[in-house]
Amino acid sequence: MIENAAKYSQLIKSEAKRLGFLSCGISKAAFLEEEAPRLEKWLKNNMNGEMGYMENHFDKRLDPTVLVPGSKSVISLLLNYYPTQIQNNDSYKISKYAYGTDYHFIIKDKLKELMHFISEEIGEVNGRAFVDSAPVLDKAWAAKSGLGWIGKHSNLLTKQSGSFYFIAELIVDLDLEYDNPVTDHCGTCTACIDACPTNAIVADRVVDGSKCISYFTIELKNEIPISEKGKFQDWMFGCDICQDVCPWNRFSKPHNEPLFNPHPELLSMTKKDWEEITEDVFREIFKKSAVKRTKYTGLTRNIQFLKD
């Protein structure tokens, strides 16, 4: 079995690479002991803000064998989204991950292919694919699988390519060879903590979600509190500040996924263009984008908040 586990793991990693994933790591499906008290404390301190769904399925969030009965392994995958070009300086900004087609669709297709490959090459394997749409602590699993370490901004970091990538998982009922976590390389650096304009990084690896610019511009459905006026540094959807200042992101290389390329107009639009955006233009530019999540009304609310 051990021999097969190593062989199967290698097969899966090779196929993941062929499908365009940046890297693939595997860990044993089991209860996340270290994460349990952290998550409990985070929720107790209301750091999820209005994201009530974070309180649901506590047991499933911490134990993949509850989420996917019979599961034995968690296969973690990273997919690069660092763009070749970014928006011009005279523009309200959106997070780089939302430039192109909504990543959920792109990654789900790749995961389906990988699952199909596993069934073809190994035999009947049951499991489920996840792309941040279910109660899975993806960063914790990626770190456990040796794909990187959790940085002080609570994002996964790698020495080779920083942090501009998506994390996804296959949770399967197959015994595989497991990877070991890597060491932390943040050292004494506090660049991300110092740069956060809303002081959302309240402690090492602890982000108060209810203070984050991404939360205010995407998750919050009510009006943005007036106390946050002047702090957003022109971010109208999401925020990349803590990643942009991270020294490890000097090593980010552009992705090679054409579907992540932005609508041509997105990069050239100025603040004035954004302030005058119509619903039709919004629909055209963000036809298949994750920005649709905030809707036209949400984006114009954010722009108004930045403009006033």
Residue ranges with strand state E in 121-194: 127-130, 149-150, 156-157, 165-172
Catalytic residue among 63, 132, 173, 244: 132
Instruction: Let me know: does 52 contact 30? Beta carbons within 8 Å.
Output: no
What is the DSSP annotation of 153-166?
TSSEEBTTTBT-EE
The answer for residues whose C-beta is within 8 angstroms of residue 115's C-beta and 6 or more apart is: 125, 127, 129, 170
Instruction: Round to whole Å and give the CA distance between 119 and 114.
Output: 9
Instruction: Round to whole Å and give the CA distance between 129 and 206.
Output: 27
What are 207's two structure tokens?
């982000």
Active site residue 132: yes
Instruction: Round to whole Å and give the CA distance between 83 and 100.
Output: 9
Instruction: Let me know: does 228 contact 220? Beta carbons within 8 Å.
Output: no
| Active site amino acids | 132
